[in-house]
Structure 1
């Protein structure tokens, strides 16, 4: 990305659904080709994305008006996180990051790091203490991003039929 690209972070709308679903399908295929079991069991599916949008959980990062990255941000609600094999850094309010996916045209351009910057800004603006996120053990790209963005490994959670590595970053 160059300094000339116009980058925006906004809530997803129902008009974005088909573009988001295309991105999710590309990410599912990328995970499969990488040999990962993550997202290979029918989740996330179109219904997941429609639910995210209807509940105002869906967010997109756009580059020059094109949707490049999708994520779901959920405040204070992830039942699986109450049973961590380990310990969270905090027990205050938090934003959960789920379903991070990048369009193939924008893959490898550092946009997930920009996305996490935007999520941190969003979290601060809401007066929320921390961000919690989990990922599959074999999602090397996401593990590297979380490390580079200063997230602390807190333990393991059981989510979507498997054990996930759980991370947290204190924001305020």
Structure 2
């Protein structure tokens, strides 16, 4: 498994993965990503901002995510309290390929991301998800994230979580 930055030529493959994830959310009865977001422009913006990452195995992209080493403005107005106040990494638009289903790829991704944080001397990961995104809620619970409150994106409340990392 290799985590690397995505390239503009990979937008079509990444968009297919996101479309699969959007359909999965709908099939699960979730309202997340059912309003035209994310879309191909979201991916292009992530690439231009340097935050588009893919997890690949033998040249096959299995997962896409925006990995952001910067402040998330929506996180500044949390209804609740973050565990830490310093630097953090934000994860958005985490989506796995159908080829990854049932293989623990998302869990592996989160573990690789933790190492990336520590390598960059960042010891906090913050993430949010819809209240009804059960698969993501299970992953972040299993990996030891702490529920911190609610944040708002595009007018909707989302559950916000943080994990504090130790300097490995």
TM-score (norm 1): 0.94
Q: Distance in 1 between the 2:111 and 2:64 partners?
A: 14
Q: C-alpha displacement at 1:34, in angstroms?
A: 1.0
Structure 1 residue ranges without an equivalent (≥5): 1-6
Q: Give the aligned partner of residue 80 of structure 1.
A: 74
CA distance in 2, matches of 1:132, 1:87: 12
Look up the match of 2:126: 132
Give the superposed CA RMSD: 0.9
Task: Give the secondary structure class of the aligned counterpart of 1:167.
Answer: strand
Aligned pairs for 1:17-166 within 5 A: 17-166=11-160
Cα shift at 1:54: 1.1
Unaligned runs of 5+ in 2: none
Give the superposition deviation at 1:76.
2.3
Q: Does 1:15 align with 2:9?
A: yes
Match of 2:144, SS? coil
Name the SS of the counterpart of 1:68 in structure 2.
Answer: strand
* Distance (Å, rounded) in 2 between the aligned partners of 1:107 and 1:145: 13
Partners of 1:160 and 1:10 in 2: CA distance: 29
Distance 1:128 1:61 in 2: 20
Distance 1:10 1:17 in 2: 14
Query: How many residue pairs were aligned?
Result: 166
